[in-house]
Amino acid sequence: MSALPAGRGRTRLIAVARGDEAPDTVIEGAHVFCAHTREWLEGDVAIADGMVAGIGSYEGGERIDARGRWLVPGFIDAHMHVESSKLTPAQFARAVLPHGTTAIVCDPHEVANVLGSDGVHWMLDASEGLPLSVFVMAPSCVPASAFESPRRELTVGDMEAILRRRRALGVAEMMNFPGVVAGDPSVLAKLEVRGASHADGHAPGVTGRALDAYAAAGIRSDHEATSVEEALEKRRRGMWVLLREASNARNLRDLLPLVREYGPEHCAFCTDDREPDMLLREGHINQMCRIAVAEGVPVEHVLVMATLHAAQAHRLDGYGAIAPGFRADLVVLDDLSSFAPSLVLAGGRVAARDGVAEPFAVPGIPAHVLGTVRSAPVTDADLLLEADGPVRVIEIVPEQLITIQRTVDPARSNGHVVADPSRDLAKIAVVERHHATGRVGCGLVTGFGLRDGAFASTVAHDAHNVVAVGTDDASILACAAHLQELGGGIVVAQDGRVIGELPLPVAGLLSDRPVEEVVGRLDDLHAQLRDLGVTIEAPFMTLSFLALSVIPALKITDRGLVDVERFEIVPLAAG
Amino acid sequence: MSALPAGRGRTRLIAVARGDEAPDTVIEGAHVFCAHTREWLEGDVAIADGMVAGIGSYEGGERIDARGRWLVPGFIDAHMHVESSKLTPAQFARAVLPHGTTAIVCDPHEVANVLGSDGVHWMLDASEGLPLSVFVMAPSCVPASAFESPRRELTVGDMEAILRRRRALGVAEMMNFPGVVAGDPSVLAKLEVRGASHADGHAPGVTGRALDAYAAAGIRSDHEATSVEEALEKRRRGMWVLLREASNARNLRDLLPLVREYGPEHCAFCTDDREPDMLLREGHINQMCRIAVAEGVPVEHVLVMATLHAAQAHRLDGYGAIAPGFRADLVVLDDLSSFAPSLVLAGGRVAARDGVAEPFAVPGIPAHVLGTVRSAPVTDADLLLEADGPVRVIEIVPEQLITIQRTVDPARSNGHVVADPSRDLAKIAVVERHHATGRVGCGLVTGFGLRDGAFASTVAHDAHNVVAVGTDDASILACAAHLQELGGGIVVAQDGRVIGELPLPVAGLLSDRPVEEVVGRLDDLHAQLRDLGVTIEAPFMTLSFLALSVIPALKITDRGLVDVERFEIVPLAAG
């Protein structure tokens, strides 16, 4: 994928580079980072038709004074899911451009679970013409497992159609590492899909022979390493190590010794999943730069990981450096420690100043990505829990995606197992919401600290059915009914009545509002949950992973409780 | 371009990597170079289906003892012309595999000049199934200039057809840098040809704004730098610096300070043009490793330039490293200074031992690449030189491609300008040989030291017409007639009679014989030329560049003398 314009645009760029025409814009006097030599050059940077024409001395054009400041390439996120921000691509762009991010490589597998390939095509449509360059990988693992119920499976044919689109690059993170390692032909077929330039990996804790097998399949990156040893093993196998700093997986500091000891080659930065509050309050790739520099990595090594290396990992030609024929994605920094850009240019145009994005045209939202909550009405009967003797309970682990499988003697009422707030035992329900099948999986969860009421979300990895937790059935039912009305979102209820909401009308996953508003709403909901007794830090994020059937130990989908280690549906009764 | 097999091959490879099936071959006990971390790993290397399955400990398979030795990835030549070796692809493979070269990226523009796109397609056909991986770039500059007469022009359409072939990668060296810098639409169209993943450059001495313009066009490599300053300028503009060590351009030592000061990133090795004797006597990429290590570059930096970086420059996935899912192109070294491989594996099979290639099936040579010398019979009249007063003379510069334009008062006989061996003035003639037009360009040359006889060649860059130099017309005519009979080659004549020959039947450029035989023949011819008075080192190579109309100062084609600086045909008379 090349950044270069064809035809007239290229001719003009060459004329400006040659010195025969005036540039559109000149950034004067900055120390200019050269990613190819990891040094700072002195000179003015000329821009024409959205591209860098050269570094030197130029007449004419709009002048931007950057004397004494640092000019670096726009930051690139090597692997992420826009959906985690709960923002549309346009609002996401508005949120991250002020942090200096000018390109992302995203795997839109959340919208793919809800909307099939339509969701991926919408993500491409909705990011067309944005100042942020949005590249898309074709989701490889929809559904995440046979225990989950997305709208439909994404096939090799769907992937091939996605990969015919401009800005679609390769095969998105291959999360089905057991399938790859086992040599499952249907899984390998996805790695061999026509039109893919490369395949991203996802191999948490996979080491030794299993990792050999995974790499032998041709997978050339991984973002799941949590220790230096794991990351080193992956790099030795020829994989790009994408150092991750996500809301739910802050791995950067632990991995930086790899860079300090072995250099920044074959390393790049990624955020994977960032909640809107982390974007707003901490930043994006620039926050990773800040940490890495503070941890003693030379700033030139930090910058190549944040820019050129991400482009190279994805074979993006003309991105990630300041050189003739590279896209003019440029960040002006007042210092090399805070990484708070004073100015951001994307494609040669000012995209953000002093932390605020410049206005740009926001594409409308088509009807087909709205109104996606199509669950059958949930009734009391759907929530009845029947089991003799001790039962399985999902125990959440604060700040982790894994859960523990507990066995408890539950409270009972009229012969039915019920929530017991005095022992922090809440009811959890997953309601299928794509085809109104009426399928509801029900069980118990502990660890939230919920004493009263209920909360629910249509953000429920990976199939994004409705997931609800509550101490009383009436509040759970109120949540489910209101999510149907909203077309998706996050809601809180008490005494059978909804008391708070964050509408997420796009696929039931995304707001169409700015990040500040989304974070404000979430703050309010978090405060309500604290009032209802919830003690953990990020209850909605925790909730959203309780339906993900590929992370140990006990999870729940609309098909029932899933023992992930045994990889099978199990009954509530522990007997 | 990926090295990985699809379907069953990949499934088996994964099974071996996983440890469920025995490998085909295991290389035991070597220090294994890891290109991604630039360190040495200890372990056995398992091979299955031509690919590396892993590094560790394996049961079964054929065992190769490499204890205490060094195992490195096969060397990759990032830019070269097979034709300079005067060998067919198969014989070239036989010549370089013992030196550890397992992949080359070649620009077959010499055969393209003689055979049109048929020549490029033949190069792809003739390299199919060889142990050497041969990648091809689509020639971008046939003809080299309007003053040259190849068989036909290679169009954008021809390039597009070439780029549809497997193993065809991108746009070959864009030698028409003035056209690029000027923004000539027909030149830029070649850079935008469909199917090209990238474009190689060729910008000798191009610096400053002109280099900005060249890079802005999207050209991402250059192999013409002769000084550190020039190479650094190119690297700063985001170009791969391909360090060159050719027979006629030994630039490596001069460029190594770039690597020592700025590291090996964005640097790789290439040989461009190597004569057969250099291949046989000095080696190939391994000779560059030898020099670079002797010049103080850390061996790990040398090795990444000789392997992985060349693959990355050409976006060759699965080449250039020893890791699962990479092609098992492997070199066993007994030391890290001589770089004389004791064993070479290509695609997992032994390809050479102790300097000798293993036998392999050599493809037959199709009729259409033979019999390409189709010149009209040359007569005395074609060689008559008419000019009053002083005349232009081409003065050769030993060991360089440039010439000097001299003016002399020539000897005359019967009113015609004639050779004058007493002043080292020989006659030079270029005979059009593709379409039997009868076009002959004629002039004078000084610097060979030829006292008697003539020598001639159908290797005459870039159009590869017949070029002959002689002190008497009868010997020149004998040479031309004999080259026609041979279907091309190099010949020496005395007293109007041919006394020595090297047949080059394939396109008039290549022998079908092994390198040792070609070198032996050339040695004999060189000895004959010394007997005839020739004093310079490489007279045939020098001769072959006298028709190249894009290198200063005075050259000659079938259309006449070319003043390269004025870029026009000039008469013999200097007046």
pLDDT digits (tens, 9 = 90+) for A183-197: 999 999 999 999 999
Q: What is the pLDDT of residue B248?
A: 87
Q: What is the pLDDT of residue A551?
A: 87
Distance (Å, rounded) from C-alpha B472 to C-alpha B399?
Answer: 26
Distance (Å, rounded) from C-alpha B447 to C-alpha B546?
Answer: 12
Helix (H, G, I), strand (E, B) or coil at B104: strand
Neighboring chain B residues of A238 at a CB cutoff of 8 Å: 35-36, 321, 323-326
Chain B residue closest to A193 (CA)?
A: B6
DSSP structure string for B518-542: HHHHHHHHHHHHHHTT--SS-HHHH
Q: Round the CA-based radius of gyration of chain A to a whole number and report it.
A: 24
ipTM beyond cut 0.90: yes
One-letter amino acid at B288 equals M
**Statement: residue A7 has pLDDT above 90:** no
pLDDT tens-digit series, residues B449-502: 999 999 999 999 999 999 999 999 999 999 999 999 999 999 999 999 999 999
Helix (H, G, I), strand (E, B) or coil at A562: strand
**Statement: residue B545 has pLDDT above 80:** yes
Chain B residue closest to A240 (CA)?
A: B36
pLDDT tens-digit series, residues A129-183: 999 999 999 999 999 999 999 999 999 999 999 999 999 999 999 999 999 999 9
Distance (Å, rounded) from C-alpha B192 to C-alpha B199?
Answer: 9
Structure-token pair, residue A512:
């169409």
pLDDT tens-digit series, residues B213-242: 999 999 999 999 999 999 999 999 999 999
Structure-token pair, residue B541:
């190579």
Find out whether A219 and A211 touch, Cβ atoms under 8 Å. no
- Pairwise CB contact (< 8 Å): A54 & B212: yes
- Pairwise CB contact (< 8 Å): A212 & B10: no
Structure-token pair, residue A275:
């909640």
- Pairwise CB contact (< 8 Å): B216 & A13: yes
Neighboring chain A residues of B323 at a CB cutoff of 8 Å: 215, 236-238
- Pairwise CB contact (< 8 Å): B14 & A56: no
**Statement: residue B21 has pLDDT above 80:** yes
Q: What does the DSSP 8-state code read for residue A563? A: E
Which among A459, A488, A453 has a CA at the least distance from the CA of A474? A453
pLDDT tens-digit series, residues B101-114: 999 999 999 999 99
- Packed helices A117-126 and A156-163: angle between N→C axes, nearest 10 degrees: 20
Mean pLDDT of B146-157: 95
Find out whether A242 and A270 touch, Cβ atoms under 8 Å. yes
Mean pLDDT of A104-112: 98
- Pairwise CB contact (< 8 Å): A324 & B236: no
Mean pLDDT of B2-30: 92
Mean pLDDT of B161-190: 96
Q: What is the pLDDT of residue A40?
A: 98
Distance (Å, rounded) from C-alpha B551 to C-alpha B544?
Answer: 12
pLDDT tens-digit series, residues B414-442: 999 999 999 999 999 999 999 999 999 99
Confidence of residue A9 (pLDDT cuts 50, 70, 90): confident
Neighboring chain B residues of A237 at a CB cutoff of 8 Å: 36, 323-324
Distance (Å, rounded) from C-alpha A49 to C-alpha B166?
Answer: 34
Positions of E strands within A307-413: 330-333, 341-346, 349-353, 356-357, 391-396, 403-408, 411-413
Neighboring chain A residues of B17 at a CB cutoff of 8 Å: 209, 212-213, 215-216
pLDDT tens-digit series, residues A506-534: 999 999 999 999 999 999 999 999 999 99
Q: What is the pLDDT of residue A463?
A: 97
pLDDT tens-digit series, residues B249-301: 999 999 999 999 999 999 999 999 999 999 999 999 999 999 999 999 999 99
Q: What is the pLDDT of residue B344?
A: 98
Q: What is the pLDDT of residue B575?
A: 76
Tell me the count of A-B CB pairs closer than 8 A: 186
**Statement: residue B6 has pLDDT above 90:** no
Chain B residue closest to A264 (CA)?
A: B37
Task: Report the percent of chain A where pLDDT is more than 70.
Answer: 100
How far apart are the CA of B157 and the nearest CA of chain A, in angstroms? 17
Q: What is the pLDDT of residue A483?
A: 98
Q: Which residues pair with B468 in a beta bridge?
A: B429, B456
Neighboring chain B residues of A37 at a CB cutoff of 8 Å: 232, 235-236, 262, 265-266
Residue of B233, B236, B260, B309 for testing the chain A interface, max A β-carbons within 10 Å: B236
Distance (Å, rounded) from C-alpha A466 to C-alpha A351?
Answer: 37
Question: pTM above 0.90?
Answer: yes
Neighboring chain B residues of A52 at a CB cutoff of 8 Å: 216
Instruction: Encode B452-493 in three state secondary structure.
Output: CCEEEECCCCCCCCEEEEECCHHHHHHHHHHHHHHCCEEEEE
Q: What is the pLDDT of residue B136?
A: 98
One-letter amino acid at B575 equals G
Query: How crowded is residue B256: how many other Cβ atoms within 10 Å of its Cβ?
Result: 23
Q: What is the pLDDT of residue A63?
A: 98
Distance (Å, rounded) from C-alpha A542 to C-alpha A548?
Answer: 11
Chain A residue closest to B328 (CA)?
A: A216
Q: What is the pLDDT of residue A575?
A: 76
Confidence of residue B401 (pLDDT cuts 50, 70, 90): confident
Mean predicted lDDT score pLDDT of chain A: 96
